[in-house]
Amino acid sequence: MTKTVNHVVKRPGRRHGDPQTAIPVAEELVTVPGSPVIDGDVSYYSREDPIESQTVEKSADREWGWTVYIKEVYDYRKKHDEVSEPLIEAAWVSGDIEPTAEPDPEHDVTTDIRDRARELGFGEVGFTRYDRRYTYASKKSWAKFNHAICLALEQDYSQTQSIPSLEAEFAHFGTYEIAGALALDLAEHIRSLGYHAQVHSPNDNSGAFIPLFVEAGLGQLGANGQLLSPHFGSRARLMLITTDAPVVHDEPIDYGINKFCEECQVCVVRCPARALLREKVWYRGVKKNKLVYDRCRPVMVTYEGCAVCMKVCPIQRYGMKPVMEHYIETSEILGKGTPNLEGYELRGKGYFGPGELPHFKGKDFEFPHGTKEEWLFEEFKKKVEANGGTPNTEAVEFANELSRLVKEGVSRTDE
Ligand code: SF4
Ligand code: SF4
């Protein structure tokens, strides 16, 4: 029986100039616009335990990743880092560049910036308050302006469907490179309107971007931990520009995703590492499905970025409109249970169709935790304990390495 439609969300078309799209939302999927949030809790956690970049907080496993990549991934990632470096450097100082014109108070800067961003190729563009509660501790003093322009650049459809693969990594990192360059152009345009623009490089994130995208009405948070946007779900790379231009903020939208994910669960049951939790939990003031990092990370690093949770998502594969229409007409999740949506291959392990998952051993999930210094210290303790409390040669070598790292850290801080 056809389900009752509660409301229809109208959004701009997928490409600039395309006709609007209309997404029906079933009555039973209605929850809240955006994400369920306890505002006071978000503020509390941001104040008492601010989030930090994984590059800082988990430096031990970042370094370990390079030792695990297959040669092709290693070489490609090195090249990506080389290409990204000048983009990151340009973004880093972008907030200090002065505008190149006087602002015109009569000019509609919101429409102007949205149109320019869409012309440049960004598939989703939205405006919201720059909520510093989602900024990394190490970037809080860097971020300058109070308005955020949220920009999503779609990544190639076919390459993404080959996940996990080197081909899909080309799409993943290649899209970040393009987005980083396009954003510098957009920032220049904003300066020509008379305002400052700070580029938050997608290759050197300044914080958690998804909450801002949700606030700007560009999608909702999926059970896979990714932004599910109307046209391409999570098949997009996200970035921000912050500005002092007086832009009009968008509003969060209920696309029905909070509830739809409870019905769908495809990513949860297809994750090869069993890293996604079925039930939503309250975490740092937001109700969401939590990802178990310690299970995801080793699989992600070993198998070309994994991202099976992106590949098997029907919103990514077919788009939100057909998926929601199909749900209203049939009560079913489009593609669920089919090899087309759910099948994937893991290098060296074979093909896994619906209902099939690879097996891993406990040791496959062992990897260095915390910062490099913390991890070395843990190893040092183990070696001393194994030697009855007396440091042996190996333990002394560890201690020396640890002290070198700490000194390096001190001199970096002094710079
Ligand atoms: S990246 Fe892979 S291992 Fe990690 S949550 Fe997604 S499907 Fe699971
Ligand atoms: S696969 Fe299903 S449950 Fe997972 S994010 Fe996509 S819609 Fe939500």
Which of 214, 224, 276 gets mutated to test ligand 2 (max ligand atoms within 8 A of its CB)? 224
6 with 33: CB under 8 angstroms?
no
| Nearest protein Cα to ligand 2, atom 1 | 313
- The answer, yes or no, to whether residue 411 has pLDDT greater than 50, is no
Which of 221, 227, 255, 260 gets mutated to test ligand 2 (max ligand atoms within 8 A of its CB)? 260
- How much of the chain, in percent, has pLDDT values that exceed 70? 96
Which of 226, 296, 352, 357 gets mutated to test ligand 1 (max ligand atoms within 8 A of its CB)? 296
Task: Give the predicted TM-score (pTM) of the model.
Answer: 0.92
Closest ligand by atom to 298 CA:
1
| CA nearest to 326, candidates 316, 343, 337, 314 | 314
| Nearest protein Cα to ligand 1, atom 8 | 271
Q: What is the pLDDT of residues 94-144, one digit of tens each?
A: 999 999 999 999 999 999 999 999 999 999 999 999 999 999 999 999 999
What number does the ligand 1 atom closest to the CA of 291 have?
Answer: 5
Which pLDDT value is given to residue 372?
73
Which pLDDT value is given to residue 405?
66
- The answer, yes or no, to whether residue 25 has pLDDT greater than 80, is yes
User: Half-sphere exposure (CA, 13 Å, Cβ side) for 262?
Assistant: 12
List all residues 6 or more positions away from 123 whose beta carbon is below 8 Å from its beta carbon: 14, 15, 152, 153, 154, 229, 231, 232, 236
Which pLDDT value is given to residue 393?
76
Residue 336 near ligand 2, beta carbon < 6 Å:
no
* Ligand 1 centre distance from Cα of residue 108 (Å): 42
Q: What is the pLDDT of residues 152-172, one digit of tens each?
A: 999 999 999 999 999 999 999
Average pLDDT on 258-271 reads: 98
* Ligand 2 centre distance from Cα of residue 300 (Å): 18
Provide the 3-class DSSP secondary structure of residue 127: strand
pLDDT, greater one: 1 or 75:
75
Which pLDDT value is given to residue 378?
73
Model confidence band, residue 408 (pLDDT cutoffs 50, 70, 90)? low
How many Å apart are CA 266 and CA 311, to the nearest integer?
Answer: 10
Closest ligand by atom to 304 CA:
1
Model confidence band, residue 52 (pLDDT cutoffs 50, 70, 90)? very high
